[in-house]
Structure 1
Amino acid sequence: PQGGFACDFGSTAVVWGPGSRPIVGNDADQLAAAEVEARLSVYADFARKQAEHPELADAVLLETPPLLGVRQTRFVEGEYKLTAEDAIQGRRFEDVVAISSCPIIAYYGYRRYLEHEGYDIPYRCLVPQKVENLLVAGRCISSEQQPYESHRAMAPIMAIGQAAGTAAALACRQKVSPRKLDVGLLQQTLAHQGAELRR
């Protein structure tokens, strides 16, 4: 978020922020420029906080991350594209492999909290349209921007990763491409592993 926020660990504080301007996350020139801007911004923000808060006069900046955290770049075009309506309405799918109930976040603005128990992430979002023997997991699954802001959080990302890894193992065992995998078997295996699929 703009301005950042902090966690206090006794004599050390970890600060997230200040935010960076939007860039194309897979453009090397934009990334390099944003790295420089972000570091200058951190030092300026630190100096401003010291000027505003006398108790920070002896504080020192210990370190900054080695790289800028890129939130998103590309999404795969999958067998199904998760839509904003799917997330907002709490849509359920027969081929569910993960669930997200995290709010939809509009950086740097408001959070739209979901008014239901969550929405399903279908297996088809992990299966690219025109590439065989490939599954995707994490932030790049087939999705519109709004649901991405929800399912990019840690809990759904872990569930999506578990589904993709399990699907890959099953596809190898069954000697089929991920596209032809029996989704019922995948769901049964995930449920046996403790995954919550609301089935």
Structure 2
Amino acid sequence: MCSISHGAEIEGRQQAIWAIDALRHYVPGFEQVRLRSFGMTLGARESRKIEGKVRVDKEHVLNQGRCADSIGIFPEFIDGSGYLILPTTGRYYQIPYGCLVPKGVENLIVAGRCVSADVIAHTTMRNMMCCAVTGQGAGTAAALSAQLDQGFSDLDMAKLQATLKDQGVRID
């Protein structure tokens, strides 16, 4: 078990160095960037995910997916499962509210790395910055749900989006 962990740590550090090198060579302003430190140990990047009313997939992320129930946006940033796309192009996708709401379960909403997404889409949605977007969407939805006495599946999407916009969230 130790050799597997050790090998994964070596591989992860090598990939970080390659990413820094790519930033230096291809992104204006990053010519002098340097890595200050690595994390002490490996961490879990994936955990259990819900089966949501909407499942974000690879095509949605890679083709700047748009949706009527957007709760925020996130750049096309994929770092895993054989992909490395750095957020340097200005391309982004909308995050659908439906990926936070589990099928067949009432009074539950999720955020973070357990949202409904396929393997490739999950490599971007598990990112801490994207988790912040889904967290704000879920928290705002929970407050509105209680205030309006509406379940998560029936929540007034226009009110949720207006509230998020009032908070400064870019949803489109």
Give TM-score scaled by structure 1 length: 0.66
Which residue in the other structure is 2:38 paired with? 15
Q: Deviations over 1:56-107 (max 9, x none)?
A: xxxxxxxx56xx5211121100001001111111010010002110422225
| Aligned counterpart for 2:115 among listed residues 122, 127, 141 | 141
Query: Within the alignment, does 1:150 sit opposite 2:124 as a pair?
Result: yes
Aligned-partner SS, 2:150? coil
Question: Which ranges in structure 2 are unaligned for 5 or more consecutive residues?
Answer: 1-8, 18-34
Instruction: Indicate whether 1:104 and 2:78 are aligned.
Output: yes
Report the counterpart of residue 24 of structure 2 in structure 1. none
Offset at residue 116 of structure 1 (A): 5.6
Q: Which amino acid aligns with 1:87?
A: V
The residue matched to 1:15 in structure 2 has which SS?
coil
2:108 is the alignment partner of 1:85: no
Q: Please tell me whether the aligned partners of residues 102 and 153 of structure 1 are also in contact (alpha carbons under 8 angstroms).
A: no
**Which structure has the highest helix share of the two?**
2
CA-atom RMSD, angstroms?
Answer: 2.1
CA distance in 1, matches of 2:80, 2:101: 27
The number of equivalent residue pairs is 143
1:102·1:151 contact (CA, 8 Å) conserved in 2?
Answer: no
User: Which region of structure 1 is more displaced relative to structure 2, 142-151 or 182-191?
Assistant: 142-151
Cα distance in 2 for partners of 1:15, 1:155 equals 19
Query: 4+ residue stretches of structure 1 with deviation over 2 A?
Result: 5-8, 112-117
How far did 1:155 drift? 2.1
The residue matched to 2:38 in structure 1 has which SS?
strand
Structure 1: 5+ residue stretches without partners: 9-13, 17-63
Report the CA distance between 1:184 and its aligned residue.
Answer: 0.8
Match of 1:167 in 2: 141
**Does residue 119 in structure 1 map to residue 73 in structure 2?**
no
More off after superposition, 142-151 vs 188-197:
142-151
Query: For residues 188 and 157 of structure 1, do their structure 2 counterparts lie closer, same or farther at Cα, with a shift above 3 Å needed?
Result: same
Which string of whole-angstrom CA distances, capped at 9 and with x for unpartnered residues, describes residues 133-178 of structure 1?
A: 0001001101011111112222221111000000000000111111
Highest RCO, 1 vs 2 (Cα 8 Å, sep ≥ 6): 2
List per-residue Cα deviations over 1:4-42 (Å, max 9, x = no partner).
Answer: 15843xxxxx333xxxxxxxxxxxxxxxxxxxxxxxxxx
How high is the TM-score relative to the length of structure 2? 0.75
